Amino acid sequence: MKTLVIVIHPNLEQSSINKRWIEELNKHPEKYHIHELYAIYPDEKIDVQAEQRLIAQYDKIVFQFPFYWFNCPPFLKKWLDDVLTYGWAYGSTSGYKVAGKKIALAMSVGIDEEEYSASGKYKYTMEELTRPFELTFEYVKADYRPLFAYYGMERNAEKEWMEKSVPLYMDFLNSL
């Protein structure tokens, strides 16, 4: 069973690390289905039924995105609002179509990990900052898994830093 990797990056052309991760995922088409939201819906009008049909086909779903303003890019929020509909994702006995599916976030982060802690500049851990995702996916009875975050992309511009993330991300996906 393949893993569905939903990529939400508003400017993939300019991306370093998300583009590199996609390149790696593309080497294993038997393992990963990549679904790039901004490429599929350049006008940001989501085909909700097509998305729901896609989700139905996978038991492991990863949302991959760069961390922007302590949050996800806006199109992911819109995707959640549009696709997790009443009667499909929750709210009726025939709903809960996402129930039991393994769902995780995979994020590239500009700032260093130490700054995302109680004693750091940004006070909160990434687990704390992503609580709305945890609650959303628990609300629809999905199996929300611990997130993957790769930090320090702003300070470490070197290619080696980015390359180090690749096996870590692949291990994370394999262990889902």
Ligand X SMILES: Cc1cc2nc3c(=O)[nH]c(=O)nc-3n(C[C@H](O)[C@H](O)[C@H](O)COP(=O)(O)O)c2cc1C
Q: Tell me which residues touch ligand X (CB under 6 A).
A: 9, 15-18, 66-70, 108-111, 153-154
Least distance in Å: CB of 19 to ligand X?
Answer: 6
- Provide the minimum distance between the beta carbon of 23 and ligand X in the complex, in angstroms, as a whole number: 12
Minimum distance between the CB of residue 124 and ligand X, rounded to whole angstroms? Answer: 11
Q: Which is nearer to ligand X, 56 or 157 (CB)?
A: 157
CB nearer ligand X, residue 88 or residue 169 = 169
Residue among 21 and 58 whose Cβ is closer to ligand X: 21
* Residue facing ligand X at closest CB distance: 110
Shortest CB 173 distance to ligand X, Å: 17
For the residues of the chain, what is the DSSP string, one character each?
-PEEEEE--TTGGG-SHHHHHHHHHTT-TTTEEEEEHHHH-TT----HHHHHHHHHT-SEEEEEEE-BTTB--HHHHHHHHHHS-BTTTBSSTT--TTTT-EEEEEEE-SS-GGGSSTTSTT-S-HHHHTHHHHHHHHHTT-EEPPPEEE--TTT--SHHHHHHHHHHHHHHHHT-
